[in-house]
A and B are shown apart, each in its own frame.
Chain A
Amino acid sequence: MTAGVLQLDNLSVRLRLPGGRFVSAVTGLSCTVRAGEVLALVGESGCGKSVLASTILGLLPGNAQVRGQVWLDDAAARTELLRAPEHELATRVRGRRIGLIPQSAGTHLTPVRTARSQLAEALAHHGSEGGGAEIASRVDELAQQVGLDPDDLYGYPHELSGGMTQRVVTALALAGNPLVLVADEPTAGLDRALVDHTVDLFRFVAGTGRAVLFITHDLAAAGRVADHLAVMYAGRLLELGPAREVLADPWHDYTRGLLAALPSGGLQPLPGHPPSLTELASGCAFHRRVPGECSGDPTLTWHGGRAVACR
């Protein structure tokens, strides 16, 4: 097992609302993303997944309060991201050490410029040396890295298929050669073939030695690609472990509930609704929604290579 390149340690994030109330988006969350691996973070809408992505990238709004640590440990340095100054994040971390693959690739690209010119701009911005010819050859290289024919890059975004657009956006995230990729709901609203295509691309990117954090509500997509699976509910991790083991034998009631809601599990919805993150009481939010055996302590405890809450 390789060392973690992105390590979240007891991370809590809350957002202050007018009137002194707080949204507890992330609570006491710890996990590790390793080089060459995909960690999928799954959970229902509104469980705090996207706030986690913003936290890692240093893009939280001004009303956020953060505790804990986020360590980025790659060839460049070992950096604690929460205390790094914005200038360092902007000039040395975002795009260069951590790449972002956004939701809805199609709208992420500028519609009035070719894919090639957008990739060339990203490379130039990240400080690629040399003139136009050299950058052009770097663009071709980047395109090949994600399985694109360099000639396709002469198209405008609307001329590219969904799969090609997804590749262009991935190439953009790789332009600064980051070791870590954070993908925030990259497959939302895509059809199944394109979802499969996109997550297979993550598998490929991880195969080049990168660490991928894949944030999604799509458990089927996560199961297809993830090495490790983290299941999040109301801001906390309830289960964490090797994806194959977690899916084959889920330990937490919530993971079981999510699997049962899939078509392959019989389309059984979980009773009730996810709680509002503004009014979280202490203790286990999930077992307040769905009664079950619970120690009342939603902290992860480790048993071998897997961790589960509420035991």
Chain B
Amino acid sequence: MSLTAVDVTVGYRREKPVLDGARVTVAPGEVVGLVGPSGCGKSTLARVLALLLAPWSGRVELDGECATRVRHRAPRRLRTAVGVTFQSPRRSVDPRFTVADTVAEPLRSGGAPERDVEARVVELITRVDLARDLLSRRAHEISDGQLQRACLARALAWQPRYLVCDEMTSMLDASTAAALVRVVNDEVAERGMGVLAVSHDRELLDVWADRLVDMVP
């Protein structure tokens, strides 16, 4: 049981791989910190593990099953098993959506019955400590910290077995960052979610992660 990248080679331009044979594995209930300087390929590896980017070679294994397709082509059972959060919440939500729509998006696209969606959304935003009166607001009407809480709620919508946090806290003030880390840690403690925490902030990962993986450019 694990989320594993096996010998992943991938890039964005032909013959210029960003990752060359990268390996990392996250076990259930474990927080793995991925550190390295800007531009070393941390986010690329995060995208591969979140099933958002197909490797040129190598593979991603999810609890023993090889994920051969990515994004909307990945089968639902794999897509809902890995959640992801990004650095900039503002650039990772649809500005036309309300907070409620944002959190509900994976539920709806994953085929949750509409009658269950509303209750589940309330449950999720309570989990991340967002006030209920924010549900009808759009992204531009709330702060970065509030929006990142909504993005974390969205990532947890299907109770994923693994969560990829790509610089989740680096735009946030210290207190909001600590609050989000606590929400993630609660999921780890309660249901054994595995976490890949990507950050350039070694000091944060020293405290948060069970073990660190160093990437070099």
A189, A261, A266: the one within 8 Å of B175 (CB)? A261
Q: Which residues 130-168 in B have Cβ within 8 Å of A in the complex?
A: 131, 143-145
- From known contacts A162-B38, A192-B200, A192-B202, infer whether A46 and B143 are also in contact, taking CB-CB under 8 Å: yes
Contact A273 B131 (CB under 8 A): yes
A162, A189, A192, A261: the one within 8 Å of B174 (CB)? A261
Contact B175 A263 (CB under 8 A): no
B38, B175, B200: the one within 8 Å of A258 (CB)? B175
- The CA of A273 and the CA of B142, in the complex, are separated in Å by 13
Q: Which of B173, B182, B200, B204 has the most CB of A within 10 A?
A: B173
A189, A192, A220, A257: the one within 8 Å of B171 (CB)? A189
Contact A193 B182 (CB under 8 A): no
Residues of B within 8 A of A266 (CB): 207
Q: Which residues 102-160 in A have Cβ within 8 Å of B in the complex?
A: none
- From known contacts A189-B88, A263-B207, A267-B181, infer whether A44 and B200 are also in contact, taking CB-CB under 8 Å: no
Residues of A within 8 A of B38 (CB): 162, 191, 193-194
Q: Which residues 215-237 in A have Cβ within 8 Å of B in the complex?
A: 217-220
- From known contacts A189-B87, A189-B170, infer whether A269 and B179 are also in contact, taking CB-CB under 8 Å: yes
What 1/0 flags go to B77-88 for Cβ under 8 Å of A? Answer: 000000000011
- The CA of A273 and the CA of B37, in the complex, are separated in Å by 32
Residues of B within 8 A of A262 (CB): 174, 178
- The CA of A44 and the CA of B178, in the complex, are separated in Å by 12
Interface check A268, CB cutoff 8 A: yes
Interface check B214, CB cutoff 8 A: no
Task: With both chains docked as a complex, state the minimum distance between the C-beta of B75 and any C-beta of chain A, in angstroms.
Answer: 35
What 1/0 flags go to A160-174 for Cβ under 8 Å of B? Answer: 001000000000000
Interface check B176, CB cutoff 8 A: yes
Interface check B94, CB cutoff 8 A: no
Residues of A within 8 A of B174 (CB): 217-220, 258, 261-262
Bin the interface of chain A by size: 20 to 34
Q: Which residues 187-202 in A have Cβ within 8 Å of B in the complex?
A: 188-189, 191-194
Contact A188 B201 (CB under 8 A): no
- From known contacts A45-B143, A193-B37, infer whether A269 and B201 are also in contact, taking CB-CB under 8 Å: no
Residue of A nearest to B170 (CB): A189
Contact A269 B175 (CB under 8 A): yes
Residues of A within 8 A of B123 (CB): none
Residues of A within 8 A of B87 (CB): 189
Interface check A270, CB cutoff 8 A: yes
Interface check B203, CB cutoff 8 A: yes
- From known contacts A189-B88, A191-B38, A269-B175, infer whether A263 and B145 are also in contact, taking CB-CB under 8 Å: no
Contact B207 A261 (CB under 8 A): no
Contact A269 B202 (CB under 8 A): no
B176, B201, B208: the one within 8 Å of A44 (CB)? B176
A-B pairs with the 8 shortest C-beta distances? Answer: A269-B179, A217-B173, A269-B178, A191-B200, A261-B174, A261-B178, A261-B175, A263-B207
Residues of chain B at the chain A interface (Cβ within 8 Å): 37-38, 87-88, 129, 131, 143-145, 170-179, 181-182, 200-204, 206-208
What are 14 residue pairs bridging A and B, where the CB atoms are less than 8 Å apart in the complex? Answer: A43-B173, A45-B144, A45-B145, A162-B38, A189-B170, A192-B202, A217-B174, A218-B173, A220-B174, A257-B175, A261-B174, A267-B204, A267-B207, A270-B178
Known interface pairs A162-B38, A269-B182; 9 further A-B residue pairs with C-beta atoms within 8 A, sorted by A's residue number: A188-B171, A191-B200, A217-B172, A220-B203, A257-B175, A261-B178, A263-B208, A269-B175, A273-B129
